[in-house]
DNA sequence: CTGAAAGCGCTTACAG
DNA sequence: CTGAAAGCGCTTACAG
């Protein structure tokens, strides 16, 4: 392949200066119609692909893209409807600002390279629900780019966007307990960034690294305390698929005494609970009450419809993008509301 | 804010040349441990954020990101499970190659700017299921970047990745017809990039711009012809949500004679048909047979489970990324297989 | 309205 | 192992 075409080539062919040719692309109204026509004609003849965005970005000092660093692996994130809705919100806000969205690959145990984070061409980064102490967070901080932390503890100098996880969890647990349930099972997706699966003991609970799980559990526990219930079983499913939820539900429902209610930390898990209940021939909500968290679109479509905690995932994404595009990190975390949605499953 | 820190500042502080400092970041094994330590210490003292990726990209001639241009609006794309699975496949392949994934905002009627496409810092572009003649495709072509067209007609000089839409559609329609159905209704998401909704007449069919719809319809029609059925009603839902499917199903089921089978172009729509059938108290498959296309994970979980056409969405994404990362566009389209999955809904 | 000139921050053959 | 030098392709104040 021959040398790449540059603006210089176009300018020479059109018989104008390089700066004039540049203006044709960046400020077309600034140049005369005649000059514009000459340059565009020369560009078309040479099949010039337009000014190189990398060079333009370097000169302008602006990349034109927002980076998003997602919960552990991207594959996991795309399998999680809540994460996808969040991304949808970012994308919509970015589209309005004519800004592209760059998904940064998160380093994994298999592939611990941070090069993609270090080399990504972005003007800012949205970090979504990373566990405590994840090395990717450090790598982002070193870039010293504007950053918005979402569903994570605040850090100095960065904007933080949260939802009221504790309050929402409290509300849904209190709702279940108000219906008289004393034998409640809790179902979590993941408490820490490993593959642990099974009933969580005190030691495990002391080592939770996923902030969202920690906050939601705190809300459940407050409601339980207020109802005089000291300890309930908590099953950790090691994942957030419907199947993970079904697996966890089977374990919880095998306990003696059998729980009469299962409160799940996500709607995905709660959907699995409904599946397991159907398998076992348990009537919901007659023999088993089920509640989730997130109010995914699916939650209204299950049989029976799922009691859950509403949060506006798309709005959260849009707000995250807005915080980044506006610059000026607010000193205090922005906290979006949650709201109990009682449906047929409780 | 003060002037931005550069590698030059670090080099000066460390008392070495700029090139040596650069090697510390790019080829650390090339320099002595002593020099490395000096440079890293200076960088830490100055809080140097690392070499600027934009400048490095310009010099290297490589951006380190793949662009994805998605079906019309990004918000639509994220609401479509099939598109999300496809993206998941791209992301996984990109992660292995340590390449970020940039989602390009697609110009809309409201915001026809092509600047995001023109300015995006990417090494290649995957274009997914754009309607015929969409201006974004032109803008991509002008960039003269390596391009992979997915679920779109081949274009000279670009790689093309398809699935056997026509064959899959034929198989599922033939399966339904083999069960003796003569009154079949067809349900489409969108035939062209507008908001048209309703029964499609010949004039509308002649103006389809979504290739996938065209190919699937061709498959249905071949099966119908072979079974001696001349014409069937086709309802266009103007969207691909479960609710769109329910709306379309209500219209089809209000026809005289009432269809005994509905074949939907997507699983999302077919799920809506199941919903509408439940509302109307129609037994599936006893009074109404239902079939979809895509074999989403949800398709196996509906009640009854959905007969559909399987395609490997994640694998398709991975293959698209592979075609782009490998360079060398194959002259012929790569066509992935589809497979009928008969379940309880027919 | 047009153009000469400076500079964005880095990487990498090349010479020593 | 280290450094001087060239150059990636562009934009934009500035002067005319």
Distance, CA of A320 to CA of A326 (rounded, Å): 10
Q: Work out how many CB contacts closer than 8 A connect A with B.
A: 158
pLDDT of residue A104 exceeding 90:
no
Per-residue pLDDT tens for A181-192? 999 999 999 999
Report pLDDT for B327.
73
Residues A309, A313, A314, CA angle at the centre, nearest 5°? Answer: 145
Chain A residues near residue B45 by CB distance under 8 angstroms: none
Yes or no, beta carbons of A143 and B119 under 8 Å apart = no
The answer to whether B323 and B149 have CB atoms below 8 angstroms apart is no
Report pLDDT for B223.
98
pLDDT of residue A236 exceeding 60:
yes
Which residue of A6, A28, A70, A119 is the best one to mutate when testing the B interface, meaning the one whose CB has the most B CBs within 10 A? A119
**Which candidate, B19, B327, B334, B344, places its Cα nearest to that of B147?**
B327
**Which candidate, B144, B132, B147, places its Cα nearest to that of B68?**
B147
Q: Per-residue confidence at B75, pLDDT binned at 50, 70, 90?
A: low
Considering only residues 239 to 298 of chain A, which have any Cβ-Cβ distance to chain B shorter than 8 Å?
A: 242, 275
Q: Is the CB of B59 under 7 A from strand D?
A: yes
Per-residue pLDDT tens for B217-263? 999 999 999 999 988 999 999 999 999 999 999 999 999 999 999 99
Chain A residues near residue B5 by CB distance under 8 angstroms: none
Q: Is B102 on the interface with A (CB under 8 A)?
A: yes
Chain A residues near residue B101 by CB distance under 8 angstroms: 74, 102-103, 105
Per-residue pLDDT tens for A1-34? 457 899 999 999 999 999 999 999 988 888 899 9
Q: Is the CB of B32 under 7 A from strand D?
A: yes
Q: Is B3 on the interface with A (CB under 8 A)?
A: no
The answer to whether A191 and A241 have CB atoms below 8 angstroms apart is no
Distance, CA of B40 to CA of B46 (rounded, Å): 10
Give the lowest-confidence range in A101-105, A220-224, B208-212. A101-105
Q: Compare CB distances from B142 to A49, A84, A88 and report the shortest one's residue.
A: A49
Distance, CA of B99 to CA of A112 (rounded, Å): 14
The Cβ of residue B303 has, within 10 Å, a number of other Cβ atoms equal to 12
Give the lowest-confidence range in A74-83, A188-197, B139-148. A74-83
Mean pLDDT, residues A191-219 taken together: 95
Mean pLDDT, residues A280-292 taken together: 97
Taking each continuous run of H as one helix and of E as one strand, the counts in chain A are 14, 13
Closest chain A CA to residue B53: A119
Structural tokens at position A155:
């850090």
Report pLDDT for B119.
86
The Cβ of residue A12 has, within 10 Å, a number of other Cβ atoms equal to 15
Report pLDDT for A1.
42
Mean pLDDT, residues B187-196 taken together: 93
The answer to whether A153 and A209 have CB atoms below 8 angstroms apart is no
For residue B226, give every residue at least 6 positions away whose Cβ sits within 8 Å of its Cβ, in sequence order, or none: B174
Structural tokens at position B78:
């994220």
Residue B197 CA, chain-centre distance (Å), reads 23
Q: Name the residue with higher pLDDT: B92 or A46.
A: A46
Mean pLDDT, residues A135-146 taken together: 90
Q: Is B114 on the interface with A (CB under 8 A)?
A: no
Structural tokens at position A291:
């509640």
Nearest residue to C13, CA vs C1'? B19
Residue A162 C-alpha, separation from nearest chain B C-alpha, in angstroms:
22
Strand partners, A104: A69
Q: Is A73 on the interface with B (CB under 8 A)?
A: yes
Distance, CA of B58 to CA of A119 (rounded, Å): 12
Q: Is the CB of A57 under 7 A from strand D?
A: no
Distance, CA of B80 to CA of A338 (rounded, Å): 25
Report pLDDT for B112.
58
pLDDT of residue A75 exceeding 70:
no
Q: Return the sign of the alpha-carbon dihedral for residues A190, A195, A197, A199.
A: negative
Mark the nucleotides of strand D covered by protein, meaning any atom under 7 Å from a CB: 1-5, 7-13
Per-residue pLDDT tens for A262-273? 999 999 999 999
Distance, CA of B70 to CA of B77 (rounded, Å): 7
Residues A170, A175, A180, CA angle at the centre, nearest 5°? Answer: 125
Yes or no, beta carbons of B119 and A57 under 8 Å apart = yes
Per-residue pLDDT tens for B9-18? 999 999 999 9
Q: Is the CB of A6 under 7 A from strand D?
A: yes
The answer to whether A337 and A164 have CB atoms below 8 angstroms apart is yes
Distance, CA of B341 to CA of A49 (rounded, Å): 45
Closest chain A CA to residue B5: A144
**Which candidate, B235, B346, B232, places its Cα nearest to that of B299?**
B346
């Amino acid at each position: 392949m021959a040398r790449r075409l540059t603006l210089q080539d176009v300018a020479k062919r059109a018989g104008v200066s390089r700066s004039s040719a540049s203006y044709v692309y960046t400020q077309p109204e600034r140049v005369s119609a005649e000059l514009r026509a000459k340059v565009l004609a020369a560009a078309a003849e040479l099949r010039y692909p337009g000014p190189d965005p990398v060079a333009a970005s370097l000169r302008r000092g602006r990349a034109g893209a927002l980076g998003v660093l997602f919960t552990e692996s991207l594959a996991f994130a795309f399998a999680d409807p809540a994460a996808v809705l969040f991304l949808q919100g970012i994308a919509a806000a970015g589209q309005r600002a004519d800004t592209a969205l760059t998904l940064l690959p998160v380093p994994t145990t298999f592939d611990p390279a941070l090069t993609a984070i270090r080399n990504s061409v972005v003007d800012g980064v949205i970090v979504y629900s990373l566990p405590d102490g994840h090395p990717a967070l450090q790598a982002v901080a070193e870039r010293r780019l504007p950053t918005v932390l979402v569903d994570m503890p605040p850090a100095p100098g960065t904007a933080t966007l949260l939802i009221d996880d504790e309050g929402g969890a409290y509300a849904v647990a209190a709702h279940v307990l108000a219906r008289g349930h004393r034998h409640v099972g809790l179902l979590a997706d993941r408490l820490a960034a490993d593959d642990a699966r099974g009933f969580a003991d005190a030691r495990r609970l002391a080592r939770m690294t996923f902030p969202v799980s920690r906050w939601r559990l705190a809300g459940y526990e407050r409601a339980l305390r207020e109802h005089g219930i000291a300890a309930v079983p908590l099953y950790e499913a090691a994942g957030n698929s419907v199947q993970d939820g079904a697996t966890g539900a089977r374990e919880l429902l095998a306990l003696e005494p059998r729980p009469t209610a299962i409160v799940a930390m996500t709607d995905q898990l709660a959907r699995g609970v409904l599946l397991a209940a159907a398998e076992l021939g348990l009537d919901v909500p007659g023999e088993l009450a089920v509640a989730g968290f997130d109010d995914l679109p699916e939650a209204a479509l299950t049989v029976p419809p799922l009691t859950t905690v509403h949060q506006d995932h798309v709005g959260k994404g849009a707000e995250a993008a807005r915080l980044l595009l506006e610059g000026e990190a607010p000193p205090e975390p922005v906290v979006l509301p949650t709201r109990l949605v009682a449906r047929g499953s409780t």
